Structure 1
Amino acid sequence: MTHLLGSVTAPSGVLVLGTVGTVDCWATSDRPLSERGLDAARAGGAHLHLPEDGEPEAWYCEAVAVPAATDRPLPVRAETAPSPFDGEPTVSVLEVDLGLPWPAERGPDPVHLGDLPVDRCGMVLGDAQVLDGFVGLEGDSVDGLADVAYWGRHQDEAHAEFGGEPTPYGGPYRHLDLPLAEAEALAARLADWVEQGPGKGLMVAVDEHSHYHLLHRATWNRPLLAAVLDIAGCQVLGLGWDPGDHSVRHDGERTRNKVYPVTLAPHEGGTVLHWTIPPHGAEESE
């Protein structure tokens, strides 16, 4: 079955699909993601990684950058296959309509750009210049707000005392969109309550509103854990991954050569980007 996940925009003309857990690491490298991405797009598309002149370093930044239309939304679709973990649908092909004609000089066959792992933190698809300013996993709040989450052995007792809404799919209780100082004060009260009351057995976290957290939060109750977030006026898609499915199929990522091909292909005269993740067992049956 094919699912429409949403649309992204690429006003710079460079679209990036990359590992979201490390996308902000490009900003601390020798050249920003937008500069590398522009070089890749001018060449028709390429796999970006660090170090630039060697083999990709495991658990570090990886992405594919391609040219894309600047003047229209770019639809993103996914084909699915059942997960061996729980039978739920997971992405088997991610497809992006790049809004550009297929270059005749490339011929009729798909062009392989490189291979990407499934990042345990998820993937991000968006404009290269916008992703230069992406605030990642450990980043500060971009809007002065934060969420407070708590979970563990005493979570129901804590809920009776402190309230909060349950996260979809049985996740932690959370207070959302609190001013940062208020969130830190609530977390401190929860910690005091644990120490003075039931004792160990409750975990508490303050999640500042980084782009990473907001994108991850947007996927909680979305099909295939995919959601679109507006960042700096651009539509950016986040694609989460079920932890159970990741552990069964993708654990180890590049260290275990669990990487999957990204290609450009012609479709009805236009160009599409494909990231293909074979269904479980397909590798063994080939």
Structure 2
Amino acid sequence: MSEIAGETETWTGLGEVTAPSGVLVLGMAGGIGVWPELGRPLSERAREAAAAGGGHLRDGLCEAVAVPARADGTLTVRAATEPSVFDEEPVISVLEVELGVPWPDGAGDAPVRLGDLPVDRCGTVVGDAVALDAWTGLADESDDGLADLAYWGRHVDAAHAHFGGERMTPGDDGGPCGWLDLPVAEAERKAAALEAWTREHHQGRGLVWSVDAHTDFHRFQRAGRDHPLEAGRIEVAGCRVLGIGWNPGDHAMRHHGERDAGQVHPVTLHRAADGGTVLRWTIPPHDEWDERDEQEEYRA
């Protein structure tokens, strides 16, 4: 248990990542693959920020924080949790990464604020800056020729009886069904059959489906599907990368609007008890945001 944990917080280990370039990135998953289209690769920008001790990167809708990290080992990622105001399930209130580098001499003990980040509804990624240059994202084609097909909705049980497929949540009648690791063309043919069946038997309503090409973005979501905090580790360019999803209902309650609505949260560096450096992203519980909003409204 860390000294930052409050009475209701519980700590959970999320796994380990690697950063052989010596630069670690904490960034918005929806924009990881977009950085090169904005002018320069993420790794170049991140290297410059890390050389200055760490910093915040922002270009358009893409945001990240980059920091120096140990290049020859693993970096532990953990999270403190609070009960969600949406469904009382655990949600992340603090994300920490042990960077494996010493706290700078003469820096004192005060935390260093690097900037702030919104909670991207597409998820959050923690990984090596150079490896993330190879990230395949939302708009990319399958990088192995395969895709997953899921379908769900009011008529999912009838569709399952007709088409088959595995239950994506075992034992949960009414939950999503589908197939994993299909050739892309086969997944698209099955999706077309689902569409024709829904149109013929249900006036085109009550069933939806999604063909998800195998990209790094989809793989991290799939890897975290059964994790209580939607955290999943994948390999990207030979590096261990952690992806964290966010419950849609909780996101709507705590983080909706993101940067445009001022829903951003501080990212800081802290001196660890052993003299090392910890990266910390603090995401306050919902009631703290309510109190802040009321105070700002009163001052206005």
Take 2:175 and 2:134, find their aligned partners in 1: how far apart are those partners?
A: 29
Tell me how far 1:94 sits from its aligned partner: 0.3
**Pairwise CA distance, 1:174:** 1.7
Q: What's the secondary structure of 2:203's corresponding residue? A: coil
SS at match of 1:105: coil
| 2:19 maps to 1:10 | yes
1:34 paired residue among 37, 43, 55: 43
Equivalent-residue separation in structure 1 for 2:183 and 2:25 (angstroms): 32
Identity %: 56
Q: Following the alignment from structure 2 to structure 1, what is the Cα–Cα distance between the partners of residues 98 and 162?
A: 50
State yes or no: 1:207 paired with 2:208. Answer: no
Kindly state the Cα deviation for residue 284 of structure 1 after the two structures are TM-superposed: 4.6
1:99 match: 100
1:178-235: CA deviation from partner (whole Å, max 9, x where unpaired): 1111111111222222233333122122111111111111111112111111112111
Which residue, out of 180, 202, 207, partners 1:176? Answer: 180
What RMSD, in angstroms, separates the aligned Cα atoms of the two structures? 1.4
The answer to whether the 8 Å contact 2:90/2:228 transfers is: no
Quote the offset at 1:238 in angstroms: 0.5
Instruction: Within 5 Å, give how 1:37-76 maps onto structure 2.
Output: 37-50=46-59, 57=60, 60-76=61-77
Unaligned 5+ segments in structure 2 are 1-9, 293-300
- Higher-RCO chain (CA-CA 8 Å, sequence separation at least 6): 1
Extract unaligned runs of 5+ from structure 1. 51-56
Cα deviations by residue, 1:65-90 (Å, 9 ceiling, x for unpaired): 00000111100000111111111111
Q: How many Å separate the matches in 2 of 1:282 and 1:92?
A: 11
Aligned length: 278
d(CA) in 1 for partners of 2:178, 2:115: 39
Q: TM-score, normalised by structure 2?
A: 0.89
Determine whether 1:126 maps to 2:131.
Answer: no
CA distance in 2, matches of 1:70, 1:244: 37
Letter in 2 for 1:140: E
After superposition, residues 140-151 of structure 1 pair within 5 angstroms as 140-151=141-152
Find the aligned partners of 1:283 and 1:204 in 2 and give their Cα distance.
36
Change (3 A) 1:171 1:214: farther
Any conservation in 1 of the 2:55–2:66 contact (CA below 8 Å)? yes
Superposed, 1:209-228 pairs within 5 Å as 209-228=214-233
- Residues in 2 aligned to 1:171 and 1:206: alpha-carbon distance in whole angstroms: 17
Equivalent residue in structure 1 for 2:285, among 249, 271, 279: 279
Instruction: Within 5 Å, give how 1:77-92 maps onto structure 2.
Output: 77-92=78-93
Q: Deviations over 1:99-143 (max 9, x none)?
A: 001112211111000000000111011011111111111211111
Deviation at 1:285, TM superposition (A): 4.8
Residue identity in the other structure for 1:222 = H
- For normalisation by structure 1, the TM-score amounts to 0.94
Q: What is the SS of the residue equivalent to 2:162?
A: helix
Query: Which of 219, 222, 242 does residue 237 from structure 1 map onto?
Result: 242
Single out whichever of 107-116 and 22-31 deviates more from structure 2. 22-31
Shift of 1:282: 2.1
Partner amino acid for 1:174?
G
Structure 1 letter corresponding to 2:194 = L
Give the distance between the partners of 1:143 and 1:70, measured in 2 at CA: 29
Q: Is the CA contact 2:156–2:175 (under 8 Å) kept in the aligned structure 1?
A: no
Alpha-carbon distance in structure 2 between the residues aligned to 1:123 and 1:140: 21
Partner letter of residue 134 of structure 1? W
2:181 is matched by which residue type in structure 1? Answer: D
Secondary structure (helix, strand or coil) at the match of 2:70 reads coil
Residues 40-91 of structure 1 deviation map (CA, whole Å, 9 limit, x = unaligned): 11000000001xxxxxx4xx10000000001111000001111111111111
2 CA distance for matches of 1:161 and 1:199? 17
